[in-house]
Chain A
């Protein structure tokens, strides 16, 4: 079955540091890939997505590129802020017919200190 593996957290960075959160996936076909973010006390919200190989998703300074050859979708940001402190979930969706089942990773907690 499908699976998503992301790096263990927590990740602690100083403000303005470079961020990478690794994500790799296993899927039988050609999934769509996502990063969701969960701020404290809130539900998950979509951060960015990519639907085919070599696509780059970007939002709020975050980027991730769909790498089919390495089955990866690593999240990056050039300069993190304290407000980026949250839990980040990598996910994929794949399916046929009406519903595309979403598989989430376990989440990586990011803490940014001033």
Chain B
């Protein structure tokens, strides 16, 4: 399996520009998570989806951030307009329900991350 795929791996942009981060979860996984990692705040959950539906977006910092999951194999995280304080590494992760139990397996599988720098 290819694992969770994220693109781009690095993004450098100027303040005010729109940024779109992309994620392809592991095939068969029905949960998808977006995290942000910074030195100051550590690893923060921004939003998660179940079966392509956003379930909890309480971690999204403000209205400049939006996330979509149009199908089971693709999700985007968009920042518009971007600001220097958005500079961070953004991770996508996926997980799946165990067969029969209806509960997720707990383990999350992370992508390699996108390092975003906003100048």
B25 at the interface (CB under 8 A from A): no
Q: Mark B83-110, 1 if CB is under 8 A from A, else 0.
A: 0000000010100010000111011111
A32 at the interface (CB under 8 A from B): yes
Contact at B50–A106, with CB atoms within 8 Å?
no
**What separation, in Å, do the CA atoms of A99 and B45 have in the docked complex?**
14
Contact at B102–A32, with CB atoms within 8 Å?
no
> How many whole Å from A13's CB to the nearest CB in chain B?
22
Report how many residues on chain A are interfacial, defined by Cβ distance under 8 Å. 20
Residues in chain B near residue A32, CB distance under 8 A: 106
Residues in chain A near residue B104, CB distance under 8 A: 98-100
Report how many residues on chain B are interfacial, defined by Cβ distance under 8 Å. 22
**What separation, in Å, do the CA atoms of A45 and B95 have in the docked complex?**
12
Contact at B55–A43, with CB atoms within 8 Å?
no
Q: Pick from A89, A102, A105: contact of B106, CB below 8 A.
A: A102
Residues in chain B near residue A25, CB distance under 8 A: none
Residues in chain A near residue B45, CB distance under 8 A: 102
> How many whole Å from B100's CB to the nearest CB in chain A?
14
Contact at A49–B42, with CB atoms within 8 Å?
no
Interface residues of B (CB under 8 A from A): 4, 31, 42-43, 45, 48, 50, 55, 91, 93, 97, 102-104, 106-113
Please list 22 pairs of residues, one from A and one from B, whose beta carbons are closer than 8 Å in the complex, sorted by A's number: A32-B106, A41-B112, A42-B112, A43-B112, A45-B109, A45-B110, A46-B108, A46-B109, A49-B107, A89-B43, A93-B106, A98-B50, A98-B104, A99-B31, A99-B48, A99-B50, A99-B104, A100-B104, A102-B108, A104-B42, A104-B43, A105-B42
